[in-house]
Amino acid sequence: MDFNESKNIFLQIEEWLNNRILDDKIQPGERIPSVRELAEEMEVNRNTVMRTYSTMENKGILENKRGIGFFVAIDAPKIIQNMQKTEFFEKELPRLLERIKLLRLTSKDLAELVTLIKNNDHETQN
């Protein structure tokens, strides 16, 4: 995995895992790779992965069975979604709006955005 130099690795792994859960690539109740496995796969130290798993366990996203492994909590998707939605509207969106203003982005740039979001309307009730 290629990591962003300006952000902690264990946080980037958490983000990666969160996205996989939200995207149903890992499902609630399912077991995730062991600390050692993921560490080797990502070419990272055991302790770094351990730190990711621990923080996610504290947030209720992961559950742990000693001697067996880590599992995705049943309501993990909901927890992640709530967390990220808050983060999105309170920090990322304001930052995005500011960026759009400063960079003078136009409707042409917006096209792809709109069509994508329209599709979400059809899937969910609003």
Partner DNA sequence: TATTGTGTCATAAGATACTATGACACTAAA
Partner DNA sequence: TTTAGTGTCATAGTATCTTATGACACAATA
| Residues making contact with DNA (CB under 7 A) | 8-10, 34-37, 43-48, 50-51, 53-54, 64-70
Q: Is 2 in the site for a copy of itself (CB under 8 A)?
A: no
Q: Is 116 in the site for a copy of itself (CB under 8 A)?
A: yes
Of DNA, a copy of itself, none, which one does residue 109 interact with (CB within 5 to 8 Å by kind)?
a copy of itself
Q: Is 121 in the site for a copy of itself (CB under 8 A)?
A: yes
Question: Which string of DSSP letters, residue by residue, matches the chain?
Answer: -PPPTTS-HHHHHHHHHHHHHHTTSS-TTPBPPPHHHHHHHTT--HHHHHHHHHHHHHTTSEEEETTTEEEE-TTHHHHHHHHHHHHIIIIIHHHHHHHHHHHT--HHHHHHHHHHHHHHHHHS--
Residues making contact with a copy of itself (CB under 8 A):
6-8, 11, 19, 22-23, 81, 84-85, 88-89, 92, 96-110, 112-114, 116-118, 120-121, 123-124, 126
